[in-house]
C-alpha cells in the first residue's frame, strides 16, 4: 500500500517532475485541473478548494500557506501578462515540508 506520494524524484536530465503548470489561461494542477478562476482577472480558487484539489494528488501534508502564496503570485503575474514568469513561480513550488520556508 502506498502511504505517501513520490517527492520530486529526478526525471530525465535531472529535471524534477511537475504537477503545477501555468499558461496564459491560468494555473493548472496535473492533468488539467484549474487552480485559478477569472474574476475580472485571475484569482486563486478559495483555500478549501485549493487544498482539496492539491491534497487529492499530493496527500494531506500539503503546506497550504506556501501553496496559496505561490498561486497568488502566479495569478498576479498572469494579470500583468507575464505567463512565462508565472510558470517559473509554479515550477519552483514544492509540497514537501522544506517548502515551508519558501
> Would 12 be classed as within a structural domain?
no
> Would 43 be classed as within a structural domain?
yes
**What pLDDT is recorded for position 71?**
96
**What pLDDT is recorded for position 67?**
93
| 88 or 12: which leads in pLDDT | 88
> Would 38 be classed as within a structural domain?
yes
> Would 61 be classed as within a structural domain?
yes
pLDDT tens, position by position, 70-79: 999 999 999 9
Q: Total structural domains in the chain?
A: 1
**What pLDDT is recorded for position 12?**
53
- Phi and psi at 28, nearest 5°, equal -130, 145
> Would 6 be classed as within a structural domain?
no
Q: Which domain holds residue 48?
A: 18-96
Instruction: Look at residue 3 and tell me whether its pLDDT is greater than 50.
Output: no
> Would 49 be classed as within a structural domain?
yes
| DSSP for 7-52, written as a single string | -----GGGPPP-SEEEETTEEEETTTEESEEESSSEEEPPHHHHHH
pTM above 0.75, yes or no: yes
Average pLDDT, the chain: 83
> Would 102 be classed as within a structural domain?
no
For a pLDDT cut of 70, what percent of the chain falls above it? Answer: 76
> Would 62 be classed as within a structural domain?
yes
Amino acid at each position: 500500500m502506498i502511504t505517501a506520494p513520490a517527492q520530486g524524484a529526478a526525471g530525465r536530465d535531472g529535471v524534477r517532475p511537475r504537477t503545477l503548470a501555468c499558461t496564459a489561461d491560468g494555473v493548472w494542477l496535473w492533468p488539467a485541473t484549474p487552480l485559478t478562476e477569472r474574476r475580472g482577472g485571475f484569482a486563486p480558487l478559495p483555500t478549501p478548494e485549493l487544498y482539496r484539489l492539491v491534497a487529492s494528488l499530493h496527500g494531506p501534508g500539503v503546506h497550504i500557506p506556501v501553496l496559496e502564496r505561490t498561486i497568488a503570485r502566479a495569478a498576479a503575474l498572469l494579470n500583468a501578462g507575464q505567463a512565462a514568469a508565472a510558470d517559473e513561480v509554479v515550477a519552483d513550488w514544492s509540497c514537501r515540508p522544506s517548502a515551508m520556508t519558501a
